[in-house]
């Protein structure tokens, strides 16, 4: 199937896809999930290409693998684990079995415990030594940070709980900048770590403990933990009633839906958090039931495969025209690149197509005044993914929202249409002539024919955010199945961790640099000379 797709691509690569965009294409090349619309009409995918992409999904067995995932089969084969973050949002979907046992009573029990705790923090029943909690500091990294940090920002209009802060980096600048804004006597520290061993998180947690101990007599009483390792949370001194546990079938970058979402729940309240879960569940139902051509996650994945593995575009820009989604690109970098940035397939055989793309982005319109120059006129094609809401939350500033929307639509139109040399000449014909006119006109040519997709939704509510995040999770899943890889392990982060541990005594000067390569030894020397 790869060959058929590559052959088809070779046949159509040179055409201008704007010529495909007739009155019917917008309907034919879009799909809906609930009231969310996914438009991929501004790509070079035609009916033949789409049929071949769908054949590819079928050939890879995406439907069977999807059903295996939802059924709790251990599809994370290298770690022997089920992949069941979907169970965390399965509010009314019935039993989910793992090894013959229904996990839903445990999931719903933990959700209730989180709701009770969040409510008590929000209404002041749970207090710090100095009174009602004013600040929540979530200490975690990777999936234990990016999800809640992204979602708390995304749902800022719904935030009516205490202030939420996120500390992730082991760089002391991170935690110092947060703690200096908080009062230890009214701060709740949440230590979020699936494993409760991650060095950055445990180091920051101990720093927060020492900071609090300067003011508060019982620091443990103002700490909560989110983890699969309850023995380790107890050893850290966090009482079991404030430990919210989950199972190893929830991957770190898929964990926002459960206890790792506690800071989000405290920020927006349990009801809004459940609306977020329901949005995710609605996307699950859609993913399980819609035909591939109508299936938004499947088609988003198919377009991704077309652009990356077939067209050879190595990066993808995620461009939310929704400022509150400012952390979405960073969140997706972990979700997509940690999941699908693999070099071998499930059997350990080298991939013969490229793995997942480099994902990057910034909110529009800021990006327009920064890197869009390269997107429009650079020599590389960067497929763009626009996200846009019909309405913001600032009713009195609706005219600004309309301007935002106009900018979003203008960018995808400009990428598709471009500007010819003739049009560019006309633009500057009143200012220049002769050779200078030609030279100036050339700088104003836009090649166009650059693909983009647009995800449009009514408003960024908790429900819609749930739809969006579940959509991206399933897109990653589909792409991973087509590549034949394991999207649920992350061995690629291990080597750096091991070397950092080994380098710590070298940096501290208790071990020499003899065993190190010349470059590393020289850098250690420079940093030591300068005070490390
Ligand atoms: O090092 C990568 C990673 O394992 C991520 O997959 C994970 O989200 C992050 O570290 C944090 O892990 P933990 O939640 O166990 O602290």
The alpha carbon of 144 and the centre of ligand 1 are apart by a number of angstroms equal to 7
Residue 125 in tokens = 């029943």
Residue 524 in tokens = 């250690």
Q: What is the pLDDT of residue 228?
A: 94
The alpha carbon of 279 and the centre of ligand 1 are apart by a number of angstroms equal to 25
**Atom 3 of ligand 1, residue of closest alpha carbon:** 142
Q: What is the pLDDT of residue 445?
A: 98
**Atom 10 of ligand 1, residue of closest alpha carbon:** 142
The alpha carbon of 252 and the centre of ligand 1 are apart by a number of angstroms equal to 6
Establish whether residue 493 lines the binding site of ligand 1, counting it when its CB lies within 6 angstroms of any ligand atom. yes
Establish whether residue 167 lines the binding site of ligand 1, counting it when its CB lies within 6 angstroms of any ligand atom. no
The alpha carbon of 163 and the centre of ligand 1 are apart by a number of angstroms equal to 24
Establish whether residue 487 lines the binding site of ligand 1, counting it when its CB lies within 6 angstroms of any ligand atom. no
Burial letters for 156-174: b for 16+ Cβ neighbours within 10 Å, e otherwise?
Answer: eebbebbebbbbbebeeeb
* pLDDT single digits (tens) 134-166: 999 999 999 999 999 999 999 999 999 999 999
Beta bridge partners of 65: none
Establish whether residue 198 lines the binding site of ligand 1, counting it when its CB lies within 6 angstroms of any ligand atom. yes
Residue 275 in tokens = 């609306």
Q: What is the mean pLDDT of the chain?
A: 97
* ω into 407 cis (within 30 of 0): no
What is the number of the ligand 1 atom nearest to the C-alpha of 195? 15
Establish whether residue 194 lines the binding site of ligand 1, counting it when its CB lies within 6 angstroms of any ligand atom. yes
**Atom 1 of ligand 1, residue of closest alpha carbon:** 493
pLDDT at 359 > cutoff 90 = yes
Establish whether residue 193 lines the binding site of ligand 1, counting it when its CB lies within 6 angstroms of any ligand atom. yes
Q: What is the pLDDT of residue 387?
A: 98
The alpha carbon of 401 and the centre of ligand 1 are apart by a number of angstroms equal to 37
Establish whether residue 451 lines the binding site of ligand 1, counting it when its CB lies within 6 angstroms of any ligand atom. no
* pLDDT single digits (tens) 486-514: 999 999 999 999 999 999 999 999 999 99
Beta bridge partners of 360: 317
Q: What is the pLDDT of residue 23?
A: 85
Q: What is the pLDDT of residue 435?
A: 97
- What is the DSSP annotation of 49-108? HHHHHHHHHHHHTHHHHHHHHHTT---BTTTTB---GGGGG-TTS---EETTEE-HHHHH
Q: What is the pLDDT of residue 91?
A: 96
Instruction: Give the pLDDT mean for 415-430.
Output: 98
Share of the chain above pLDDT 90, in %: 99
What is the number of the ligand 1 atom nearest to the C-alpha of 141? 11
Establish whether residue 143 lines the binding site of ligand 1, counting it when its CB lies within 6 angstroms of any ligand atom. yes
* pLDDT single digits (tens) 461-487: 999 999 999 999 999 999 999 999 999
pLDDT at 401 > cutoff 90 = yes
Phi, psi of 454 (to 5 degrees): -130, 130
The alpha carbon of 490 and the centre of ligand 1 are apart by a number of angstroms equal to 9
Q: Which pLDDT band, with edges at 50, 70 and 90, does 389 fall under?
A: very high
pLDDT at 93 > cutoff 90 = no
pLDDT at 4 > cutoff 90 = yes
* pLDDT single digits (tens) 174-213: 999 999 999 999 999 999 999 999 999 999 999 999 999 9
Helix (H) or strand (E) holding 40: none
User: Contact at 8 Å (CB) between 357 and 315?
Assistant: yes
What is the number of the ligand 1 atom nearest to the C-alpha of 255? 8
Establish whether residue 202 lines the binding site of ligand 1, counting it when its CB lies within 6 angstroms of any ligand atom. no
Give burial (CB, 10 Å; 0-12/13-18/19+) of 9: middle
**Atom 9 of ligand 1, residue of closest alpha carbon:** 142
Active site residues: 338, 369, 497
pLDDT at 11 > cutoff 90 = yes
Instruction: Give the SS3 label for residue 344.
Output: strand
What is the number of the ligand 1 atom nearest to the C-alpha of 140? 16
What is the number of the ligand 1 atom nearest to the C-alpha of 192? 14
The alpha carbon of 194 and the centre of ligand 1 are apart by a number of angstroms equal to 7
Establish whether residue 195 lines the binding site of ligand 1, counting it when its CB lies within 6 angstroms of any ligand atom. yes
């Amino acid at each position: 199937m790869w060959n058929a797709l590559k052959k088809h691509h070779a046949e159509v690569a040179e055409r201008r896809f704007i010529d495909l965009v007739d009155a019917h294409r917008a309907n034919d090349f879009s799909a809906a999930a609930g009231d969310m619309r996914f438009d991929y009409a501004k790509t070079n995918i035609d009916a033949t290409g789409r049929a071949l992409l769908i054949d590819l999904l079928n050939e890879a067995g995406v439907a069977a693998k999807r059903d295996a995932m939802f059924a709790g089969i251990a599809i994370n084969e290298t770690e022997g684990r089920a992949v069941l973050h979907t169970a965390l949002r399965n509010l009314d979907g019935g039993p989910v079995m793992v090894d013959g046992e229904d996990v839903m009573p445990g999931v719903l029990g933990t959700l209730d415990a989180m709701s009770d705790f969040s409510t008590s923090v929000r209404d002041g029943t749970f207090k710090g030594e100095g009174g009602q909690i004013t600040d929540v500091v979530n200490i975690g990294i990777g999936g234990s940070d990016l999800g809640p940090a992204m979602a708390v920002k995304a749902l800022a209009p719904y935030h009516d709980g205490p202030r939420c802060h996120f500390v992730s980096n082991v760089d002391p600048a991170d935690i110092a900048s947060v703690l200096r804004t908080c009062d230890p006597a009214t701060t709740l520290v949440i230590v979020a770590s699936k494993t409760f061993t991650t060095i950055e998180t445990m180091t920051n947690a101990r720093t927060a403990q020492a900071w609090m101990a300067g003011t508060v007599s019982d620091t443990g009483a103002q700490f909560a933990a989110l983890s699969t390792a309850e023995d380790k949370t107890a050893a850290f001194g966090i009482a079991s009633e404030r430990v919210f546990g989950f199972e190893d079938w929830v991957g770190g970058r898929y964990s926002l839906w459960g206890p790792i979402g506690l800071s989000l729940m405290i920020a927006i309240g349990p009801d809004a958090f459940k609306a977020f879960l329901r949005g995710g569940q609605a996307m699950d139902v859609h993913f399980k039931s819609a035909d591939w051509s109508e299936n938004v996650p499947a088609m988003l994945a198919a377009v991704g495969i077309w652009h990356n593995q077939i067209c050879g575009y190595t990066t993808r820009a995620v461009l939310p025209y929704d400022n509150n989604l400012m952390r979405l690109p960073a969140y997706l970098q972990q979700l997509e690149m940690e999941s699908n940035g693999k070099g071998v397939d499930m059997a350990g055989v080298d991939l013969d197509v490229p793995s997942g793309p480099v994902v990057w982005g910034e909110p529009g319109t800021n990006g327009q005044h920064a890197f869009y120059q390269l997107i429009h006129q650079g020599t590389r094609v960067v497929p763009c993914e626009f996200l846009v809401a019909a309405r913001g939350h600032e009713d009195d500033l609706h005219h600004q929202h309309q301007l935002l929307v106009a900018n979003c639509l203008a960018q995808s139109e400009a990428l598709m249409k471009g500007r010819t040399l003739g049009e560019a000449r006309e633009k500057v014909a009143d200012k220049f002539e002769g050779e200078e006119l030609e030279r100036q006109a050339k700088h104003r040519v836009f090649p166009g024919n650059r693909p983009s997709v647009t995800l449009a939704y009514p408003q960024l509510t908790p429900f819609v955010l749930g739809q969006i995040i579940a959509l991206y999770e399933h897109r990653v899943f589909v792409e991973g199945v087509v590549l034949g890889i394991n999207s649920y392990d992350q061995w690629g982060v291990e080597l750096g961790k091991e070397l950092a541990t080994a380098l710590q005594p070298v940096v501290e000067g208790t071990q020499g640099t003899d065993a190190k390569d010349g470059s590393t030894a020289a850098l250690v020397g420079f940093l030591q000379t300068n005070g490390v």
